[in-house]
Structure 1
């Protein structure tokens, strides 16, 4: 009997807010070194959940070289929220950075959550929870990370989201 080839993983469709929030927490929980998040407005229902925030906290407190980068489009709507994730990121700021998309990138509305260039959650619009969950898909995750890096390099600091804690 010939050896069977291992099946390639396929993206899984996520089609509700609850499933998206669960998938985001799962992706964050799988990270060991890095999380890159591109979000239109850091939807609290997706990124402000206890599961997601706890996973991010565990990453930055459990790994000396952990890094979390957050890139947002609509910084004004984020700044007016009392957001659990922002509160956490402000308290672990030596591991995190938040930037805002450059003006010429203003038509960008897709979102992606990338963990360690291995796992990816991506959706085409912030208006819908429909997304693709890509677990153990490094080629796809690296491509998303490459795109994220280009946006990140052109982005500016999100000064509206800074607060000093003394």
Structure 2
């Protein structure tokens, strides 16, 4: 059987729709990488609800990022989520040597992915039920994760 073709997008609204689709399909694992997670809207009510459902059902979330300032200042819902589900969420900050990595992606269960080719642009693609489409980004995430240090934590932000 042929692999499902990736679905391209090139607008913020389309990215957010595809991200919502990936979050809705997530069951056990979510791994995400973005320089600052601004376009992911982690503090928005709909994203918070999707992540809470996922975590409540036993899912695990790992985020890698360059700069947590936006989340610390503009995403109080995400900080509450981090406090409420500290046992199921890990956040790591990349070292200086990785700060030039420009891509952005979210992978659910090694099956579904939404990725932007460059974090400064909304152009990207999403693929569902396509483990072969997630493989390269997952390997990339594992490398980023191994090089990164613990970052955003509920205790560090004063919660």
TM superposition score normalised by structure 2: 0.88
2:84 maps to which residue?
A: 91
1:31/1:78 Cα in 2 relative to 1: closer, same or farther (>3 Å)? same
Secondary structure of the 2:51 match is helix
Distance in 1 (alpha carbons) for counterparts of 2:50 and 2:100: 30
Determine whether 1:60 maps to 2:55.
yes
Residue ranges of structure 2 left out of the alignment (5+ in a row): none
Question: How far is 1:49 from its partner?
Answer: 3.1
Secondary structure of the 1:70 match is strand
8 Å Cα contact 1:11-1:133 kept in structure 2: yes
Determine whether 1:26 maps to 2:48.
no
Residue 112 of structure 1, aligned match among 84, 105, 108: 105
Distance in 1 (alpha carbons) for counterparts of 2:3 and 2:149: 38
Question: How far is 1:42 from its partner?
Answer: 1.0
1:11 maps to which residue?
A: 6
Matches within 5 A, 1:1-166: 6-43=1-38, 46-63=41-58, 66-159=59-152, 162-163=156-157, 165=159
Distance in 2 (alpha carbons) for counterparts of 1:102 and 1:47: 22
1:3 maps to which residue?
A: none
8 Å Cα contact 1:20-1:46 kept in structure 2: no
8 Å Cα contact 1:24-1:47 kept in structure 2: no
Distance in 1 (alpha carbons) for counterparts of 2:126 and 2:44: 18
8 Å Cα contact 1:17-1:45 kept in structure 2: no
1:107/1:140 Cα in 2 relative to 1: closer, same or farther (>3 Å)? same
Residue ranges of structure 1 left out of the alignment (5+ in a row): 1-5
Q: Find runs of 4+ consecutive structure 1 residues off by over 6 angstroms.
A: none
| Larger Rg computed on CA atoms | 1
Question: How far is 1:147 from its partner?
Answer: 1.1
Question: How far is 1:88 from its partner?
Answer: 1.6
